[in-house]
Structure 1
Amino acid sequence: MTEEQREAEAAANADAQAEEANAADSAAAETVSEEAAEATESEDPRMAELRQQAEEYNNRYLRAQADFDNFRRRTLKEKEELAQYASMKLITQLLPVVDNFGRALQTSSEQADGQSFQKGVDMIYRQLTQVLEAEGLKAMEPVGQPFDPEVHQAIMQVESDEYEEGIVVEVVQPGYWLKDKVIRPAMVKVSG
């Protein structure tokens, strides 16, 4: 055997021994880690208790998350239904007014008495305004009040001997409040 062959054989033997050592170390490491885990669990019951507690908390979290998702879906559905049927109460209250208008129109075509027709329409108008007032609608009464651009819409400025400058003189189209919010500003003429 030549010197080169001996060196190659020695290198091959060294590689084989190194691979055997690595395999033995890996197997030993796995055995040690498994034994350490078993020993840790068997020696420390507190660790097992903490793991169980962590799992219980995780399950509670998942249930709470599912409950919250269900709550969110339910409130979204309720909100959509509320928006869809929000005017139902008002419309139900207005149905008798519509019925009375129908009766008045039917009566007017049968009779030529204009005075009774006018009286009937006047009664219907009062009924309608009562329903709307019960819902919080209030007509503005701006005549004689200072002009306020938040609640009035000036369409014309007129000369007036009765009012000083900047006072509402006449209402062209009434404005309305719904509770404390302006839903339609009053169109007014203002003294100049």
Structure 2
Amino acid sequence: MSGPLDRSFFARDPVVVAPELLGCIVTANGVSVRLTEVEAYREDDPASHSFRGPTKRTAVMFGPAGFLYVYFTYGMHYCANLVCGEDGAGAAVLLRAGEVVEGEALARARRGERVPDRDLARGPARLAQAMGWDRSDDGRDMVGAVRAGAPTASVAGPRTGIMKAADTAWRFAIPGDRFVSPYKRHPKAPGAG
């Protein structure tokens, strides 16, 4: 493994950063995950939380780069993003899935004893839970906590579960990796059904 990624790595367009995060190792709260799937979001993207400008909830997305943006969804789950781009850009990469490579016992304690290894961090809410992240981690500096991994191939496709910009191919995954989550088109997205 190479060393930690510095802030300049994140201070670029999330569409460029996202595929380069595949295979990288993220460490927090005693658990390390090898990223297998991510999604890019920008301020000019109608599917992004930053699309309508900064709010109390989304302030972290507007920089500086390299910080964690954590949000609560569906009244029950947390999801985590790595902030990207220049200060004020409103950009981030959603951490969608990964493989727990260190701290499996701790991840399992957070996720449940009967959860299969494959599902410990496969999906954004599962990944955040395995890492022990919640809203209190919003704004956490992740520079030094993300290490470069072995270079890997990637495939791009539409993002999962969004209604707007549903066909924008900013979901990146390691092809054939068993820790990638299944694609699900939002039932209200244009062309669904």
- Shorter-chain TM-score: which interval? under 0.3
Considering Cα pairs closer than 8 Å and 6+ residues apart, tell me whether 1 or 2 has the greater RCO. Answer: 2
More helix by share: 1
Q: Give the structure-2-normalised TM-score.
A: 0.14
Q: Give the structure-1-normalised TM-score.
A: 0.14
Structure ID, larger Rg: 1
More strand by share: 2
